[in-house]
Structure 1
Amino acid sequence: MLEVRISVPDQATGEQLAAALVERRLAACVQVLGPMTSVYVWEGAAERAREWLLLAKTTTAAFDDLCAAVGQLHPYDVPEVLAVPVERALQPYAEWLREAVGPPG
């Protein structure tokens, strides 16, 4: 299991991307959190932006397809997509997650 962190520019984009990932069975659940302030370097300059954060619950097998979908749907040139392994989870939740995420491809 993975929790995938994806930053987006606004709530509407976050909700649209979350819905697409769940509808395509690439994530069992996506939480949309925000707003937050991101401070980062882009094209050599320090930047500051108001963003929202998605926390997508998925499987390792679905990660590449999830990344491909984010690449197609996300407005950023280089979206943040970070997979964090889930070491432990409540067993019924883990089973639900695996059932909710479709097979890869």
Structure 2
Amino acid sequence: MSIIVVICTVPEEQSAIIAKKLLKEKLAACITLIPGAISYYFWQNKLECANEVQMLIKCDEIHQEPLLNFLKLIHPYEIPEILVIPIKYVDPIYLSWIKESLLKKTKL
């Protein structure tokens, strides 16, 4: 089983809500929220600036497609940033924890 990290920026006020939904659905083992991201971009021919949170979503390839589909469904942006990074190495103990985390049914 290969591990991936999905990078996704989200509005600050919705970051925890989105993270909890992904975890509750067992689509991610761990999500790191990095606040203070400032994104500059053009949207509809206008230069925009947004305060965002960078999400690092740890998952496996088995759950990748359902994760991406659900993330697109719940994300508030019309065109969300969703980038998948394959991981070349993962500590075997951490890998076991990820596998277990994606299988366990827990309450939030």
Q: Same fold (TM over 0.5)?
A: yes
Q: CA deviation at 1:48?
A: 1.4
User: What residue in structure 2 maps to residue 38 of structure 1?
Assistant: 39
Q: CA deviation at 1:4?
A: 0.5
Offset of 1:41 from its aligned partner? 2.3
5+ residue gaps, structure 2, are 104-108
State the match for 1:5 in structure 2.
7
* CA deviation string 1:22-66 (max 9, x = no partner): 111100001111111111222233321111111110011211111
- The sequence identity of aligned pairs, in percent, is 28
Give 2:21's aligned residue. Answer: 20
Partner residue in 2 for 1:66? 67
**What is the CA deviation profile of residues 5-37 of structure 1, one whole-angstrom value per residue up to 9, with x for unaligned ones?**
110111x31101111111111000011111111
Letter in 1 for 2:7: R
Task: Kindly report the root-mean-square deviation, in angstroms, between the aligned alpha carbons of the 2 structures.
Answer: 1.2
* Structure 1: gaps spanning 5 or more residues: none
TM-score, scaled relative to structure 2: 0.86
Structure 1 consecutive aligned stretches of length 4 or more whose deviation exceeds 4 Å: none
| Structure 2 counterparts to residues 23-102 of structure 1, below 5 A | 23-102=24-103
Distance of 2:40 and 2:55 partners within structure 1: 17
Q: How many residues align?
A: 101
Compute the TM-score of the two structures, normalised by the length of structure 1. Answer: 0.88
State the alpha-carbon separation in 1 of the partners of residues 46 and 89 from structure 2: 39
